[in-house]
Structure 1
Amino acid sequence: MLVFTAPEGDATVAVIGIDQAADGSDAITMGWQKFDPDFVREIELAQEPPARDGWDQITVAGYETSPAEKLVLQGIALRKGDDWTVMLVRGALATIAKRGAQLGQAFGSLSPANFEKESFAGKTAHELTPERIAELREFVSQSMAQLKIPGVGLALVDNDRIVYEGGLGVKSLGSDDPVDANTSFMVASNTKGMATLLLSSLADEGKLRWDQPVVELYPAFRLGSDETTAKVLVEHLVCACTGLPRKDMEMVVATSGDTPASNTFDLLSGTEPTSGFGEVFQYNNLMASAAGYIGGHLIHPDMELGAAFDQAMDERIFVPLGMEATTFDYSEAMADNWAMPHARGFGEEVQPIEMVWNSVVRPYRPAGGAWSTAHDMALYALNELREGKAADGTQLFSAENLLKRREHNVAIGEDAWYGMGLMESRSTGVPVFFHGGSLLGYKSNFWFIPEAGVGAVLLTNSDEGQALLGPFQRKLMEVLYDGKPEAEENVEAIVSLGAQGRAKGREGVVEAGDPAVLTALAPHYSNPDLGPVHVMQIDGETWLHMTSGRSKVGTRANDDGTSSVFFTSPGLAGFILLIGEQDGKRTLTLDDSQHEYVFVESDG
């Protein structure tokens, strides 16, 4: 048995050898007996994803914990022949969240003795012929049906040209209006790489250096303490390597139409990293937002930050690349050919989402506020493959500064790294660059493989689209390099395991809410950082109203005797607030892993 402890001292991982277990759950239970004989919790849900990376069987087990514990408990059992390798994770939620990429890197490196990983290194990729394009389209179409994704925008690039662009499915459930290559989707965090491309153009002109202190360019910038602020260089703004954790709840809960772009800098000024620069991967939207706004400000210093960024992106990125439909203007994007977002509510049915929740990213739009199309995103991928050259050979961006965005700033897993708004994976021996985007009801990805000269774009109008992104990448590699057929099985497993997980998550939840719990809630709560929460009755249903939007709620009984308010509206289902009391006043507590926000009963 090997036991590893996080530097914080409140999280451990044990790796244990187990012989002669009946199954994966039995192996995990035996592992706990060796690691901690006093551990008495029962497995809440055990699942078996497809066996990969040389293992004959994989079991993943989770344990029920109450929100107040802020605890992660998990067991993973890997079988090769008759021998089991068990990994047990126990630790504070904040630490596990902070060091998730390191855990993924460690677990991803664990393989059976003498295992040789599949590798396409040195192989020549197949051309994306009509037959191979049809195979990819058929895979997407079948996966959409299995995952209940209404619509997809798809584009493929090969040999320096777009070889396919189009749509599958519909823009909205209940409509016959089909998705096409020019249908607009929110591409969310794919915006980050576009914003760093803006910085590349400024580096080309000598208006900034990647190793330049940010305060030299924008003196108002502040990150926590004076000491931390002084260390932040331009390249740190979108590297996800400064140790700054997510601080998204201010965006998700407390944003309104009046929130200015400058709020990015207000929020950063009160935030301090929780780990050292370069120590761990911690994704942060506010830093990426600051990067874009500073870039826009350097170009148009006399304009409001948001307007300056919008105009700079049009002038420097969208117009030069021919991305005519890409915009930050919601009314323009939603005027005609656009895909409506969808998600599951409390049950299994996929439903449309209120767009108001996706308006919250607008004040922070360099981090994820762009609307685009399959066609435009294919042009964006072509620019990456051409290393900044236009089709006529004009050098729009220097290769040096464009490629700077691909440098390995911090590991995000085994053979995977984060650059600046771009990620790289070499899990199959071939460098694949990509980035994803996630907002409520919109999940997307774009990929480019320089060695193959291939790019791909996948835009979806459903939260279920997240489950298609990884399998699509796998299918693309299978088609290009004759890889082992795994993608279809991956989708089937995601569908099955996802349904099991959602069913387990609904246990103990009363969709309409326990009347005794709901009537005991205060009508109004407030938090100094996130603003007010109002409890309202509308047509016999209980709703929670926040600055950013509203959701129907039910209640959940926790295993420690406490109760939580449980959001049930599509896109928000599963979001919880712990019901409690503080200094004689009723409270609702929101925990986002590394931050705790307590809403205290107020007068309204």
Structure 2
Amino acid sequence: MPILKPWLRRAPLETLICLCAAVAFLAATPLNAFANTPGTTGGGVGYTAPDGWDVRPGEGLTVLAAPADELLVALVDVGSADSASDAVLAAWALFDPDADYPVRLVTAASPREGWEERASVSYDIPPNERLAVQALALRREASWTVMIVRGSQAAQERRSAATSLIQQSLRPAGYERESFAGRTPNPLTPERIDLLREFVAEAMDALDVPGVGLALIDQGEVVWQGGLGVRQLGADEPVTADTRFMIASNTKGMVTLLLATLADEGALEWDQPVTQVFPEFRLGSDETTRSTLMRHLVCACTGLPRKDMGFLLVEPGAPATDTFRQLADTQPTSAFGELFQYNNLLVSAAGYVGGALAYPGMELGAAFDLAMETRVFAPAGMHNSGFDFAEAMQGDWARPHGRNLDGDVVEISNTFNQSIETHRPAGGAWSTAADMARFVQLELSGGLTPEGERVVSEANLMERRVHNVPTGEDSWYGMGLFDEIAWGVPVVSHGGTLLGYRSNFYLLPEAGIGAVVLTNSDEGSVMLRPFLRRLMEVVYDGQPEAMNDINTAVERMARQSGARRATLTVPGDPAILEALAAQYHNPETGYITIRDVDGETWLRAGAIEGPVATRRNADGTVSLATVGAGAIGLEAVIGDEDGVATLTIRDSQHEYVYRAQD
């Protein structure tokens, strides 16, 4: 799961995987208590209804309704249709004939799970409506099934795991799932290692990824580690096993490893209230604060909404205590243990609490850094990992890259990524393929280094993999780790996303096999899941599908990029830009500044900075959109409040209104 994605408000449906509450509500759903219900549509398509959802059969369709009807998922048996677009139109006619949402883009996905054709449809919804509408068309032989999702953006984010469960469980009648369960895994011989390296090289070429750090582990031994490609586009320095990358949210599993060592020492218990070990901790109300246990900080199951935009918009350089300031002002929007909601601030707090327990009296950030070095990095033999930006960006380090508006991959500044430094336990670590291989070895061995030194007890290491909350079909979040059954095989993993860096590590515990993939490009994200598929194909002699997933994704990304570009006026409409104030203010996050840079209009809001385009929305409003290279973007809707000009920035569950300053 990436760390910083607040700008992806309407991600394609196939990528969906992150209210004030009284004490009784917080305790309403115990962890691990889930009761999903299998079902079948009238047309014979199998699905799974999430726990607590209402199932409403109808003629030609089945509607699954989240509690309070805040999100509806319609499964429509369309039958024959000439195309995916026609199938979706027919589905709307059954579900809501009066709906009239303009289609923004139709994109194909790879055939999967018995479906011979898949296509997702995104819609052009004005940002002020805060509405999420998506459709997915699936064909088996001549028959189409369509899944429609509609509800508020807030509901969609809160219930993204539930919609993922529904989508992932859709299968045509009579289809038998592919499974490698029970097969004897093949060892990673030199020939099989070459197959994996060839896949990475081919994927890099298709995606224009400059460089990849790669490590492969089998039965406790590193069987290959090194690099492919270059550290910096236009330069010759190759990626090596010791090239440093930002690993973003892969940091989380290392933070929970720190907590596990402290649990070994008796400094904390997983089910201990946070305030017992760190009295300064506060989360929303007094009731919520008292209910928060140590495991809640790292389980993504506390119901706290993602709030990345809240710290991205703040001027960089705040002290570590800012994590606790922001948490004190935030309240869960679902019950403890009810929904998967990925929150970086909670993990940041967990790391700083761990540091304070290890080195009481020190400044929180310094204590955390030292605790990670002395209890995780050094004992595990990860001597090239840490949190010091200045040190990391010396010598053998990979520069970040992303696509510009013209579709070209270019090097981008690493300044934005330094915004994570304040909350670095959530995703601020630097590491290498060689060091990450040591981490994977530790996980596979139950807490032992390859030299036989114990870093953490097996019991507390494995506690991190206990299923706290589901994230989709056959997938769960533990503590800083995802656990899933993929193609019938248990897989433990985590990923990381920062500007220009995408990465993942994978463990196949039953096979004793692990892998690390670090990339220095936004496009590297597309490589990660297909890499797991290719690893499975190589280890279990599966049918080759992974490269087709890459090629389909390349076409999809090109269409998405073109559709976005078509909605923008670049450079921005002069009449709109000239009417902007030089500065806008929000009391929670600070300032937006508008200024001229070499004849272009630039916007700066906290860590986000870049040239802006304009876009006219379907409801007549106008948005400013930053259009610098890379996947980090910001949209601000121009408005008026009591006669004062405003810019409004939103993520799915929060709104930040900036008022023009005189």
| Residue matched to 1:266 | 325
Q: 41-50 or 372-381, which moves further after superposition?
A: 41-50
Equivalents in 2 of 1:393, 1:80: separation in Å?
52
| Residue matched to 1:33 | 93
**Displacement of 1:207 after TM fit?**
1.0
Q: 543-552 or 501-510, which moves further after superposition?
A: 543-552
**Which of 212, 215, 222 is matched with 1:152 structurally?**
212
**Which of 257, 260, 269 is matched with 1:197 structurally?**
257
Equivalents in 2 of 1:453, 1:10: separation in Å?
43
Deviations 1:286-324 (A, max 9, x none): 000011110110010010000000001110000011101
Which one-letter code corresponds to 2:498 in the other structure?
A: L
Equivalents in 1 of 2:383, 2:315: separation in Å?
29
Deviations 1:393-414 (A, max 9, x none): 3322110000000011111111
**Displacement of 1:5 after TM fit?**
2.0
| Residue matched to 2:523 | 464
| Residue matched to 2:310 | 250
Deviations 1:202-256 (A, max 9, x none): 1111111111011100011011001111111111111000110111112212142
Equivalents in 2 of 1:354, 1:511: separation in Å?
21
**Which of 271, 275, 278 is matched with 1:215 structurally?**
275
Matched residue SS, 2:405: coil
**Displacement of 1:540 after TM fit?**
0.5
Equivalents in 2 of 1:371, 1:573: separation in Å?
20
Q: 152-161 or 4-13, which moves further after superposition?
A: 4-13
| Residue matched to 1:230 | 290
| Residue matched to 1:596 | 655
Deviations 1:142-194 (A, max 9, x none): 11111111111111111211111111111111111111000000000000000
Equivalents in 1 of 2:565, 2:577: separation in Å?
18
CA contact (8 A) 2:609 2:626 kept: no
1:91 aligns with 2:151: yes
**Displacement of 1:574 after TM fit?**
4.6
RMSD between aligned alpha carbons? 1.1
Matched residue SS, 2:647: strand
Matched residue SS, 1:459: strand
| Residue matched to 2:235 | 175
CA contact (8 A) 1:553 1:565 kept: yes
Deviations 1:4-54 (A, max 9, x none): 222243321111111222222111111111111112334322122111101
| Residue matched to 1:383 | 442
- 1:266 and 1:573, CA in 2 relative to 1: closer, same or farther beyond 3 A? closer
Equivalents in 2 of 1:486, 1:8: separation in Å?
40
CA contact (8 A) 1:346 1:511 kept: no
CA contact (8 A) 2:502 2:522 kept: yes
1:372 aligns with 2:424: no
1:363 aligns with 2:400: no
1:335 aligns with 2:398: no
Equivalents in 2 of 1:151, 1:323: separation in Å?
21
Query: Structure 2-normalised TM-score?
Result: 0.90
Equivalents in 2 of 1:104, 1:350: separation in Å?
31
Equivalents in 2 of 1:206, 1:99: separation in Å?
36
Which one-letter code corresponds to 1:278 in the other structure?
A: G
CA contact (8 A) 1:8 1:95 kept: no
Which one-letter code corresponds to 2:611 in the other structure?
A: K
| Residue matched to 1:478 | 537
Matched residue SS, 2:416: helix
Which one-letter code corresponds to 1:523 in the other structure?
A: A
- 1:329 and 1:267, CA in 2 relative to 1: closer, same or farther beyond 3 A? same
Equivalents in 2 of 1:576, 1:235: separation in Å?
35
1:508 aligns with 2:567: yes
| Residue matched to 1:110 | 170
**Which of 135, 143, 150 is matched with 2:203 structurally?**
143
Percent sequence identity is 51
| Residue matched to 2:70 | 10
1:496 aligns with 2:563: no
Equivalents in 2 of 1:574, 1:561: separation in Å?
22
| Residue matched to 1:518 | 577
- 1:255 and 1:455, CA in 2 relative to 1: closer, same or farther beyond 3 A? farther
Which one-letter code corresponds to 1:232 in the other structure?
A: T
**Displacement of 1:560 after TM fit?**
1.5
Equivalents in 2 of 1:587, 1:572: separation in Å?
25
Matched residue SS, 2:489: coil
Equivalents in 2 of 1:508, 1:431: separation in Å?
43
- 1:573 and 1:216, CA in 2 relative to 1: closer, same or farther beyond 3 A? closer
1:565 aligns with 2:624: yes
Equivalents in 2 of 1:573, 1:307: separation in Å?
29
**Displacement of 1:347 after TM fit?**
2.2
**Displacement of 1:572 after TM fit?**
4.9
Q: 302-311 or 62-71, which moves further after superposition?
A: 62-71
Q: 346-355 or 280-289, which moves further after superposition?
A: 346-355
**Which of 56, 60, 69 is matched with 2:129 structurally?**
69
Matched residue SS, 1:15: strand
Matched residue SS, 1:431: strand
Matched residue SS, 1:12: strand
CA contact (8 A) 1:13 1:87 kept: yes
Equivalents in 1 of 2:291, 2:506: separation in Å?
32
Query: Structure 1-normalised TM-score?
Result: 0.98
Which one-letter code corresponds to 1:420 in the other structure?
A: M
- 1:243 and 1:426, CA in 2 relative to 1: closer, same or farther beyond 3 A? same
